[in-house]
A and B are shown apart, each in its own frame.
Chain A
Amino acid sequence: KAGVTQTPRYLIKTRGQQVTLSCSPISGHRSVSWYQQTPGQGLQFLFEYFSETQRNKGNFPGRFSGRQFSNSRSEMNVSTLELGDSALYLCASSSLPGTASNYGYTFGSGTRLTVV
């Protein structure tokens, strides 16, 4: 079955702009999480969605937001981009919120965002 699909793969934006990233989970997976990966901080948890509801949120400013659609696809949005938002943004899916504990996440290949 198809893996987790993230689009676009690469993105260059200017400071102050906003950006929307998309994630399609594995078919049948209903839980989607987002992570930001940088060389200095590693993978930092952004948020988790299940049944179109945000269930958990990491320690990021309100400029970072997300949503999930009825088909489990998810988007995240970053407004008023800053240079420090440059990172690899990873989407991960699991069948249900609790299953990640035993079965782990399946990650997409990520969206590389560069803010100039």
Chain B
Amino acid sequence: TQLLEQSPQFLSIQEGENLTVYCNSSSVFSSLQWYRQEPGEGPVLLVTVVTGGEVKKLKRLTFQFGDARKDSSLHITAAQPGDTGLYLCAGVTRAGGSYIPTFGRGTSLIVHP
């Protein structure tokens, strides 16, 4: 059972376009993380959002955590070829004294020059 649904699964756009990636769940999370993974490498953490309704900005990337802490979105403004990669959201839940991120299947983004 996939706890986190990401959409769209694939995205192919031109440089300069804007895009939004969605991450939805029926579960409530302690926090939600976004990672980016490039081919042949492991995921790299972009941001962690903790509070319902929280909005964080990282240059051209805007991350929002839903009020109920069940969903999140990632918006990229004026995409660049360097933004190409697999974007993964991860909902963090408490388990056995630890916090375990559960990942969505990812959104594969290609930005064409």
The total number of A-B Cβ pairs within 8 Å is 73
Closest to B104 in A: A42
**Cross-chain contact A45 with B100 (CB below 8 angstroms):** yes
Segment touching A, from B44-52, B62-70, B74-82: B44-52
> A41 contacts the other chain (Cβ, under 8 Å)?
yes
Does the CB pair A92–B105 fall under 8 Å?
A: no
Q: Does B72 sit at the interface, judged by CB under 8 A? A: no
Determine if B101 and A55 form an interchain contact, defined as CB atoms under 8 angstroms apart: no
Q: A97 contacts B45, CB within 8 Å?
A: no
Main SS class of interface, B = strand
Complex contacts, A42 vs chain B, CB 8 Å: 2, 88, 103-106
Docked-complex contact A92 and B98, CB < 8 angstroms: no
A104-B33, A104-B48 known; A98 vs B99 contact (CB < 8 Å): yes
Q: B42, B48, B97, B102: which contacts A97 (Cβ < 8 A)?
A: B97
Selected from A31, A56, A102, the residue in CB contact (under 8 A) with B95 is A56
Say yes or no: A104 contacts B45, CB within 8 Å.
yes
Instruction: Determine if B105 and A55 form an interchain contact, defined as CB atoms under 8 angstroms apart.
Output: no
Write the chain B residue with the least CB distance to A99.
B99
Return the contact of B42 from the options A56, A100, A101, A110 (Cβ within 8 A). Answer: A110
Closest 10 CB pairs of A and B: A107-B42, A101-B99, A104-B45, A97-B98, A42-B105, A43-B103, A101-B92, A56-B96, A107-B43, A100-B99
